[in-house]
Amino acid sequence: MNTNLPEIPSTAPFTPEQIAWLNGFIAGMYSNQSAQNSADQNGSAAAHKPVTILWGSQTGNAESLAKQTSKRLAKSGFKPAVVDMADYDSGKLSAEELLLIITSTYGDGEPPDNAMELHKWLHSDAAPKLEKTRFSVLALGDTNYPDFCKCGIEFDTRLRSLGAKPITDRVDCDVDFDESYENWLSSIETSLSAMSGKQSVASKEDLKPANQSGESYGKKNPFPARILVNRNLNGTGSAKETRHLEISLEGSGFSYKPGDALAVLPQNCSEYVANLVAFLGFEGGESVVVSSGDTMSLKNALVTQFDVTGLGSKVVKGYKALAKSRKLDTLVEDKATWKEYVQGRQLIDLIQTFPVDLEDAQSFVSILPKLTPRLYSISSSPVAHENEAHLTVGAVRYDSFGKKRKGVCSTYLADHDGESLIKIFFHETKSFVLPEDDSKPIIMVGPGTGIAPFRAFLEERKARGATGKNWLFFGDQHAAWDFLYKDEVEGFFSEGLLTRFDTAFSRDQEEKVYVQNRMLEQGSELFSWLEEGAYFYVCGDASRMAKDVDRALHDVIEKHGNLTDAEAYEYVKELKSQKRYLRDVY
């Protein structure tokens, strides 16, 4: 007992009962402070232990998770620092003792834009030995793509080769990442706390799911929205079908900004599901339990709950176990052969080629991944269209191996009659945004449906009364049928909002012309705009268009800036570091 505690003297102007209560209160206060001091001393190793959290993100998921991780570790007594990979000083890497990497993968297994430089440097001879570093990687990806989580895997492999020791093993997350992320973070907390001798004080309740806005509607509770307008933007004779959709937000409480994306929870084609059920030998009315614990009919579950078209790693691994086919095992094990087989095929083809006699429907749904939301760049400004969000969606329809194929979400939206409601929530972008300074010029490169966010940008700039110049590069197949939003674009130009626009219609002449060709043709003016401080935006296909545009940008800067290839590379690198070269690519 502490005998030096102050006491209320008996001569104080209080009753004996009040003096006793006050003395007890003071004793308790000192006791709590003593316990806190003891806890701080015992956990001092953790209380100020730095943890660097690097994030690489294309759509914002990794950044959100990095911030969630920081909050959680701070509550456990650590000193976390969240750093954008593009802003990280690589010279500090060799001194890092505790390092967490959270990164996505996009395109053909590439690092996100903000992770490219660090990824490149780390895999070079300049990277130092990291014997003092303990680390862990959380990799975000999509099992429907062959290079699932490739960027995270490469970070993990390289750090190990440089001598860094894992805090915990890498975790590879699919699109629905909440549970995997929680398991990874809990493991990190346990390991770090054990290393420091401090017991974790955080709990799962401290973790808010990524992208949860705190509104009544959000990722965990999507808003049931009505489609007000659904029209084809392409003219008669076009080989394409691009839908303009206007979606009501009335009653949602949602807000968004240009550059954000709308997430749509699709449903599978009922005809496709009926064929799938028949091939499996079921009726469709069989009861199955879904991931939420609810019971529903097999047909309803396959329409609304599960991905029944993709041939991602989870479903293939599960189906292999059910089929017990050596021929299928051999096919999957040969990566090149499997990649060729997957092209143009869906799950129903695998079931037809390698049939299996299932005892019950539950065993089949247990191997299926969840039907995940699809993200679409919003093509409207909330100022110009109150309580509405517009989308520009290319409907995917094609024939392969004797079957008519349909993109799951694109045709779900394209064929929607507007009578039933669709489930939506918003996905905020942290980087693909307009300049805060409305006087800055912007250059937008968006062929096809890539025009979507730039329609929103122009509407927003008009509503703001922005004085900065605006330049649009747009391309598609034919000017007569495929000039999306032609009247609006020409209207923006005639009223002076759009300073200039250049089009590239690839099929209107013998030699194909693309947006990158127009950039090269207008190279001198384009470079002049960059020198004036213009922001350069690209939206569209990551695997081809975005790479070609990036190469054209380097060529323009090299030629018209009178720079060497290396100097042009540094110029582009500086654009990225200033957040003036921004891409929304997929």
CATH code for the domain of 553: 3.40.50.80
Q: Which residues fall within 8 angstroms of residue 566, CB to CB, at 6 or more apart?
A: none
Same domain, 134 and 174: yes
Partners of residue 56 on adjacent β-strands: 103
Strand order in the sheet with 581-585: 500-505, 470-476, 442-445, 535-540, 581-585
Say what percent of the chain tops pLDDT 70.
88
Quick: pLDDT tens for 473-487.
Answer: 999 999 999 999 999
Whether the predicted pLDDT of 7 surpasses 70: no
SS (H, E, C) 105-174: CECCCECCHHHHHHHHHHCCCCCCCCCCCEEEEEEECCCCCCCCCHHHHHHHHHHHHCCCEECCCCEEEC
Same domain, 181 and 150: yes
The token duo for 573 is 């690198």
Quick: pLDDT tens for 506-560.
Answer: 999 999 999 999 999 999 999 999 999 999 999 999 889 999 999 999 999 999 9
pLDDT value of residue 198? 56
Helix (H, G, I), strand (E, B) or coil at 555: helix
Quick: pLDDT tens for 357-385.
Answer: 998 999 999 999 999 999 999 999 999 99
pLDDT value of residue 13? 54
Same domain, 200 and 234: no
Give the chain's mean pLDDT: 90
Nearest residue to 45 via CA among 94, 98, 99, 101: 98
- Total number of domains in the chain: 4
Same domain, 377 and 262: yes
Are 78 and 448 in contact by the 8 Å Cβ rule? The answer is: no
Any idea what the Cα angle at residue 8 is, between residues 7 and 13, rounded to 5°? 175
What is the mean predicted confidence (pLDDT) over 279-290? 95
Same domain, 335 and 414: no
Whether the predicted pLDDT of 33 surpasses 80: no
In the chain, the amino acid numbered 329 is D
Quickly state the pLDDT bin for 11 (edges 50, 70, 90).
Answer: low
- DSSP state, 522? T
The token duo for 70 is 């920081």
Q: Would 435 be classed as within a structural domain?
A: no
Are 228 and 247 in contact by the 8 Å Cβ rule? The answer is: yes
How many Cα atoms within 13 Å fall on the side-chain side of residue 196? 31
Whether the predicted pLDDT of 17 surpasses 90: no
Same domain, 245 and 380: yes
Full domain range(s) for residue 497: 442-585
Whether the predicted pLDDT of 42 surpasses 90: no
Quickly state the pLDDT bin for 43 (edges 50, 70, 90).
Answer: very low
Quick: pLDDT tens for 311-334.
Answer: 988 899 999 999 999 999 999 999
pLDDT value of residue 212? 41
CATH code for the domain of 348: 1.20.990.10
CATH code for the domain of 256: 2.40.30.10
Same domain, 200 and 151: yes
Residue that is last in its domain, among 323, 344, 365: 365
Quickly state the pLDDT bin for 1 (edges 50, 70, 90).
Answer: very low
pLDDT value of residue 38? 42
pLDDT: is 161 or 47 the higher one?
A: 161
Buried b (16+ CB within 10 A) or exposed e, 154-184: bbbeebeebebeebbebbbbbbebbebbeeb
What is the mean predicted confidence (pLDDT) over 503-507? 97
Quick: pLDDT tens for 227-252.
Answer: 999 999 999 999 999 999 999 999 99
Q: Would 561 be classed as within a structural domain?
A: yes
Q: Would 470 be classed as within a structural domain?
A: yes
pLDDT value of residue 452? 98
Q: What are phi and psi of 534, to 5 degrees?
A: -65, 150
pLDDT value of residue 24? 57
Any idea what the Cα angle at residue 40 is, between residues 39 and 45, rounded to 5°? 115
Q: Would 472 be classed as within a structural domain?
A: yes
Are 265 and 222 in contact by the 8 Å Cβ rule? The answer is: yes
Whether the predicted pLDDT of 257 surpasses 60: yes
Whether the predicted pLDDT of 304 surpasses 60: yes
Same domain, 234 and 378: yes
pTM of the model: 0.84
| Backbone angle region of 170, left / alpha / beta, with phi > 0 → left and psi within -120 to 50 → alpha | beta
| Backbone angle region of 401, left / alpha / beta, with phi > 0 → left and psi within -120 to 50 → alpha | left
Same domain, 240 and 354: no
Alpha-carbon distance of 586 to 580, in angstroms, equals 19
Same domain, 569 and 447: yes
Same domain, 448 and 571: yes
Quick: pLDDT tens for 183-221.
Answer: 999 999 999 888 766 555 444 444 444 444 444 899 889
CATH code for the domain of 200: 3.40.50.360
What is the mean predicted confidence (pLDDT) over 137-153? 89
pLDDT value of residue 106? 83
pLDDT value of residue 205? 46
Residue that is last in its domain, among 315, 336, 365: 365
pLDDT value of residue 25? 53
Q: Would 38 be classed as within a structural domain?
A: no
Q: Would 411 be classed as within a structural domain?
A: yes
What is the mean predicted confidence (pLDDT) over 36-59? 68
pLDDT value of residue 293? 87
Q: Would 13 be classed as within a structural domain?
A: no
Same domain, 90 and 167: yes
Residue that is last in its domain, among 313, 340, 365: 365
Q: Would 99 be classed as within a structural domain?
A: yes
Say what percent of the chain tops pLDDT 90.
79
Quick: pLDDT tens for 385-408.
Answer: 999 999 999 999 999 999 999 999
Find the range with the poorest average confidence among 146-155, 498-507, 549-558.
146-155
